[in-house]
Amino acid sequence: MTPRNRPAETGSSAIDLALFGALGDLAQRKLLPALYHLDREGLLDENTRLLGLARHDLDREGFRQRVEASLEDHVKAAELDREVLTRFLQRLDFLSLEFLESEGYGAVREWREPGRERPLVVYLSVGAKIYGDICRHLKASGSLDEQSRVVVEKPIGFDLDSSAEINDAIGDVFPESRVYRIDHYLGKETVQNLIALRFANPLFGTQWNQNHISHVEITVAEKVGIEGRWGYFDEAGQLRDMVQNHLLQLVCLIAMDPPANLDADAIRDEKVKVLKALTPFSDDMLGRDVVRGQYMAGTHDGQAVPGYLEEEGANADSHTETFVAIKTGVANWRWAGVPFYLRTGKRMPEKLSQIIIHFRQQPHYIFDPDQRGLAANKLVIRLQPEEGIALEVLTKDSGLDKGMRLRRGPLHLDFGSAFPKTRIPDAYERLLLEVMKGQQYLFVRRDEVEHAWQWCDSLVAAWADRDEPPRRYPAGSWGPVASIAMITQDGRSWYEDY
Ligand SMILES: NC(=O)C1=CN([C@@H]2O[C@H](COP(=O)(O)OP(=O)(O)OC[C@H]3O[C@@H](n4cnc5c(N)ncnc54)[C@H](OP(=O)(O)O)[C@@H]3O)[C@@H](O)[C@H]2O)C=CC1
Ligand SMILES: O=C1O[C@H](COP(=O)(O)O)[C@@H](O)[C@H](O)[C@H]1O
């Protein structure tokens, strides 16, 4: 590890990776392809090995075949190098295990080849309810030592109390310094770039406050619906699935004060201050500052798609939200009076995640009064697709007949075209690499999770008091009309590309 748990540039040292839930959706679709890419980039130590664990009765060869097939599905053909694939598959072992029973965990200890120096990284790609059981059985079987780390997925629990219970169970076995809570948005290239943008550029450093910024807008729109996850999603809803973690992490990175350095805890201390300063919800804010929606049948790319209540496995009475728009604020000196408008939903017209920083207008305006609406800079931070950053500036419209007409145009940094040879890695590649290096700055600390739940719980409690059904929106639209009214009541609108 680098001196104080801070980012460094190099590859990883050898580890033993035990992947619980290795045949599940996340492991097959994201984690194994990410590990393959790390191998291809030369970032996996030659001695790193992986043990897949699941309850299915497979042997090592069968597991390797399953992984090969899913890499063929989930890695672009041009990036699937047969030599690397063979090397990668040779790293894999498999253990069939019922995770809730202690018998069988001895095989994990035996797999570790006593005497080897590699730390054990335990990746729990299973539901959070069983994190505690797995940690306990690993400890009791003697599979862990002082170097072992655990990686856990979101969502951790359902509310503050359930998350505390799960975190306690993990904490009984692993100290906080060896717990890596994933929020995969923190592994996205542009999200990390927020730290560079804000703290490496004096231009933004001096403007980043309520004197210069009028409001902040965050949109995380998904094209997909429930994708066969109705059981999980209907208990969670969009607030718990997306806002409690991904959107609040984005709010933190936008709103936090500069950390003293890039140490994991220096960054996380600043993020916690933001979470503590979020405006809590009260009943009178519900109609005005919060909109819940649920998608109805509609069309997507010209195809008819079912509504949420007609999805496979659906309960036709569900009031679970698939869309949420929220106006909130960060009550401190830097952000007093600056609204943060958040919206996220499933079955929207396109997949789009972006943050817009709206700067204030000049105090005195001297151009054409008809163009006054143009007169504010915007910083557009595009997380996906086509990662990039654009600063909208005003220039003079060219031409002899234009006088001093203004024109709005972007100073554009499109990562794909600015750095064409650089492949933008998937978030899980970055995060897995950081776990291997033992660096926690891209992982969420327990108090962050808990403050985020506290804020969400206040909203859920206000919803429960009202007991209103969500507003309906057609699949393929930008959400309920009320979400547009929510922002227009302040004389603003959701940002549209022009
Ligand atoms: N999928 C995704 O895109 C995302 C997932 N996550 C999180 O990642 C984690 C994993 O999700 P996902 O991959 O979708 O889930 P899946 O249900 O697809 O995978 C979980 C795997 O764990 C196995 N498993 C569960 N319980 C046991 C047990 N008691 N003993 C042995 N094996 C068991 C399951 O086996 P079996 O099939 O036999 O039940 C299954 O293969 C969850 O915490 C989820 O919230 C987070 C973000 C995105
Ligand atoms: O964590 C989750 O994220 C995905 C969206 O992730 P993205 O990287 O594709 O933006 C979401 O679909 C899923 O419901 C949620 O659990």
Rounded Cα distance between 373 and 361, Å, is 9
CA-nearest of 245, 32, 249, 37 to 153 is 245
The band of 207, judged by pLDDT with boundaries at 50, 70 and 90, is: very high
> What Å distances lie between residue 84 and 59, 77, 431, 454, 471, CA to CA?
22, 13, 21, 45, 50
Minimum mean pLDDT among 9-18, 80-89, 224-233, 409-418: which range? 409-418
- Give me the pLDDT at residue 272, please: 98
CA atoms within 13 A on the CB side of 492: 21
Q: What letter does residue 175 receive in the DSSP assignment? A: -
Ligand-binding site membership of 222 (annotated): yes
The band of 11, judged by pLDDT with boundaries at 50, 70 and 90, is: low
Helix (H, G, I), strand (E, B) or coil at 442: coil
Q: Establish whether residue 423 lines the binding site of ligand 1, counting it when its CB lies within 6 angstroms of any ligand atom.
A: no
Write out the H or E segment, with its range, that includes residue 196: helix 189-200
Q: Establish whether residue 183 lines the binding site of ligand 2, counting it when its CB lies within 6 angstroms of any ligand atom.
A: no
How close is the Cα of 289 to the center of ligand 2, in Å?
Answer: 24
Whether 56 is a known active-site residue: answer: no
- Give me the pLDDT at residue 62, please: 97
More confident residue, 419 or 152: 152
Residue-wise pLDDT for 153-170, tens only, equals 999 999 999 999 999 999
Residue-wise pLDDT for 420-445, tens only, equals 667 778 999 999 999 999 999 999 99
Minimum mean pLDDT among 121-130, 133-142, 297-306, 403-412: which range? 403-412
Residue 250 has pLDDT above 70, yes or no: yes
> What is the pLDDT averaged over residues 239-257?
97
- Give me the pLDDT at residue 203, please: 87
Residue-wise pLDDT for 97-137, tens only, equals 999 999 999 999 999 876 678 899 999 999 999 999 999 99
Ligand-binding site membership of 39 (annotated): no
Rounded Cα distance between 409 and 398, Å, is 12
Write out the H or E segment, with its range, that includes residue 359: strand 352-359
Residue 143 has pLDDT above 90, yes or no: yes
Instruction: Give the mean pLDDT of the chain.
Output: 92
How many helices (H) does the chain have, and how many strands (E)? 17, 17
Which residue minimizes the CA distance to atom 5 of ligand 2?
222
How close is the Cα of 180 to the center of ligand 2, in Å?
Answer: 18
Residue 249 has pLDDT above 90, yes or no: yes
Rounded Cα distance between 416 and 386, Å, is 7
The band of 419, judged by pLDDT with boundaries at 50, 70 and 90, is: low
The band of 487, judged by pLDDT with boundaries at 50, 70 and 90, is: very high
Cβ atoms within 10 Å of 319's Cβ, excluding its own: 13
Residue 141 has pLDDT above 80, yes or no: yes
How close is the Cα of 44 to the center of ligand 1, in Å?
Answer: 25
> What is the pLDDT averaged over residues 382-399?
87
Residue 347 has pLDDT above 60, yes or no: yes
* Closest ligand 2 atom number to CA of residue 245: 1
Ligand-binding site membership of 55 (annotated): yes
> What is the pLDDT averaged over residues 354-380?
89
The band of 416, judged by pLDDT with boundaries at 50, 70 and 90, is: low
- Give me the pLDDT at residue 10, please: 54
Torsion angle of alpha carbons 21, 25, 26, 28, nearest 10°?
A: 80
- Go through the domains of the chain in sequence order and give each one's CATH number: 3-182 (3.40.50.720), 188-497 (3.30.360.10)
- Give me the pLDDT at residue 387, please: 85
The band of 410, judged by pLDDT with boundaries at 50, 70 and 90, is: confident
* Closest ligand 1 atom number to CA of residue 184: 47
How close is the Cα of 70 to the center of ligand 2, in Å?
Answer: 19
Q: Which amino acid is at 262?
A: L
pTM: 0.94
The band of 337, judged by pLDDT with boundaries at 50, 70 and 90, is: very high
CA 468 from centre of chain = 29
- 246, 300, 358, 364: which is the annotated catalytic residue? 246
Helix (H, G, I), strand (E, B) or coil at 457: helix
Which residue minimizes the CA distance to atom 27 of ligand 1?
99
Residue 212 has pLDDT above 90, yes or no: yes
- Give me the pLDDT at residue 2, please: 43
Rounded Cα distance between 310 and 297, Å, is 8
> What is the pLDDT averaged over residues 382-407?
84
- Give me the pLDDT at residue 417, please: 67
Q: Establish whether residue 222 lines the binding site of ligand 2, counting it when its CB lies within 6 angstroms of any ligand atom.
A: yes
Residue 83 has pLDDT above 90, yes or no: yes
Residue-wise pLDDT for 225-235, tens only, equals 988 888 889 99
The band of 1, judged by pLDDT with boundaries at 50, 70 and 90, is: very low
Which residue minimizes the CA distance to atom 1 of ligand 1?
26
> What is the pLDDT averaged over residues 211-223?
97
Q: What percent of the chain has pLDDT over 90?
A: 75
Query: Which residues lie below 8 Å from residue 187, measured CB to CB, with a gap of 6+?
Result: 426, 427, 428, 429, 430, 431, 434, 442
Q: Are 289 and 327 in contact (CB under 8 A)?
A: yes
* Closest ligand 1 atom number to CA of residue 100: 29
Q: Are 133 and 99 in contact (CB under 8 A)?
A: yes
CA atoms within 13 A on the CB side of 24: 17
Residue-wise pLDDT for 34-55, tens only, equals 999 999 999 999 999 999 999 9
**First and final CA of the chain: distance in angstroms?**
46
Q: Establish whether residue 241 lines the binding site of ligand 2, counting it when its CB lies within 6 angstroms of any ligand atom.
A: yes
How close is the Cα of 466 to the center of ligand 1, in Å?
Answer: 34
The band of 4, judged by pLDDT with boundaries at 50, 70 and 90, is: very low
Minimum mean pLDDT among 178-182, 400-404, 488-492: which range? 400-404
Whose atoms come closest to the Cα of 52: which ligand? Answer: 1
- Give me the pLDDT at residue 34, please: 97
> What is the pLDDT averaged over residues 247-261?
97
- Give me the pLDDT at residue 114, please: 67
